[in-house]
């Protein structure tokens, strides 16, 4: 059997109702010659006309009722499809809302990852600045150590020279044949004792300075090594934070893609709702026209 829509399409395309013979001219005020569709002619009475047309009238009524039922069923069907389209639109809107929410979450996570990266980079720069300063201090300490070692070397050389003179004058004071030479050597020996003592102190101070400066070099070297390790470790933190930023950017891009997709789905669903609304209007209009075209016998 043809569907309700096919029946309606056939009806609306032809734009007529076949009333099976009951569509007669308006009833005259007095019996007169009438021409009717089943071939009856001649002066007839009202009662005889009704009897003659009753089978056709009933057939028209049946066909009319079939059209009404088909139009009503089609209208209900279109309304159901419209309701389904509205439901689908609401579902798509809900999914779009969820996608937007997820996008906002990803945006916050991306912001947090970038902030963390900036913090880690800031800490790295701070450690690098400390290491640079420590390296400068190490170079300064090495320079001081070199100067202290040079001073100690010179002090040692002078100390050795003075001590050599001391021994020479001591031998002369003890073994010179000339008493005058022994006397002068004794005087020089006494001066050399003072000089040896002075340069012994100078040498001790120079050696102590070397020892202290060497300790400073060691300390600054250890500080440089420590900061170098921290810089390397912090660089690892920066790399990890940078990787996280890249991951969050990918997640944000995916979330943005789904927002765009869900927006398109909403627009598509809205188009479906608009189409189904139009179909409902058309089905309602068809139903109204069919109901308004109810067959009424005229005589």
Q: Which domain holds residue 271?
A: 4-292
pLDDT of 17 above 50: no
> How many domains, the chain?
1
Poorest-confidence range of 50-64, 101-115, 155-169, 272-286? Answer: 50-64
Q: What is the pLDDT of residue 177?
A: 82
Maximum C-alpha span of the chain: 195
Whether the Cβ atoms of residue 52 and residue 36 lie closer than 8 Å to each other: yes
pLDDT of 23 above 50: no
User: How many C-beta neighbours within 10 Å does residue 33 have?
Assistant: 9
Q: Cα–Cα distance between 94 and 106 in angstroms, integer?
A: 18
Q: What is the pLDDT of residue 21?
A: 36
Contacts of 207-214 spanning 24+ positions with Cβ under 8 A? 207/152, 209/148, 209/151, 209/152, 210/145, 210/148, 210/149, 210/152, 212/148, 213/141, 213/144, 213/145, 213/148, 214/145
Instruction: Classify residue 61: in a domain, yes or no.
Output: yes
Instruction: Classify residue 298: in a domain, yes or no.
Output: no
pLDDT of 254 above 70: yes
DSSP count for the chain of H helices, then E strands:
3, 2
- Mean pLDDT estimate for the chain: 84
Pairing of strands 33-35, 41-43: antiparallel
Q: Cα–Cα distance between 292 and 30 in angstroms, integer?
A: 30
Q: Cα–Cα distance between 110 and 247 in angstroms, integer?
A: 9
Nearest to 19 by CA among 49, 60, 68: 60
Summarize the confidence of residues 20-41 as an average pLDDT: 38
The pTM (predicted TM-score) of the whole model is 0.64
Poorest-confidence range of 26-30, 130-134, 203-207, 241-245? Answer: 26-30
Q: What is the pLDDT of residue 150?
A: 96
């Amino acid at each position: 059997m043809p569907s309700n829509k096919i029946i309606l399409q056939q009806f609306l395309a032809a734009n007529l109702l076949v009333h099976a013979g009951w569509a007669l001219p308006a009833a005259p005020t007095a019996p007169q010659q009438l021409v009717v569709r089943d071939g009856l002619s001649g002066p007839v009475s009202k009662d005889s006309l009704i009897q003659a047309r009753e089978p056709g009238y009933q057939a028209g009524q049946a066909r009319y009722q079939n059209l009404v039922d088909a139009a009503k069923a089609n209208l209900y069907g279109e309304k159901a499809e419209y309701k389904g389209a509205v439901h689908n639109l609401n579902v798509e809107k809900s999914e779009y809302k969820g996608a937007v929410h997820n996008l906002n979450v990803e945006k916050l996570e991306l912001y947090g990852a970038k902030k963390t990266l900036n913090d880690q980079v800031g800490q790295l720069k701070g450690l690098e600045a400390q290491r640079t300063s420590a390296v400068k201090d190490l170079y300064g300490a090495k320079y001081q150590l070199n100067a202290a070692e040079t001073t100690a070397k010179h002090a040692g050389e002078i100390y050795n020279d003075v001590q050599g003179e001391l021994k020479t004058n001591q031998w002369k004071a003890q073994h010179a044949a000339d008493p005058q030479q022994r006397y002068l050597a004794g005087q020089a020996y006494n001066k050399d004792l003072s000089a040896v003592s002075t340069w012994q102190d100078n040498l001790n101070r120079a050696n102590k300075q070397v020892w202290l400066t060497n300790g400073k070099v060691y300390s600054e070297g250890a500080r440089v090594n420590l900061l170098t390790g921290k810089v390397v470790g912090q660089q690892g933190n920066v790399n990890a934070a940078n990787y996280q930023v890249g991951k969050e950017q990918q997640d944000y891009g995916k979330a943005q893609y789904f927002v765009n997709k869900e927006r398109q789905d909403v627009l598509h669903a809205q188009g479906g709702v608009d189409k189904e609304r139009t179909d409902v209007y058309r089905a309602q209009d068809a139903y109204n026209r069919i109901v308004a075209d109810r067959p009424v016998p005229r005589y």
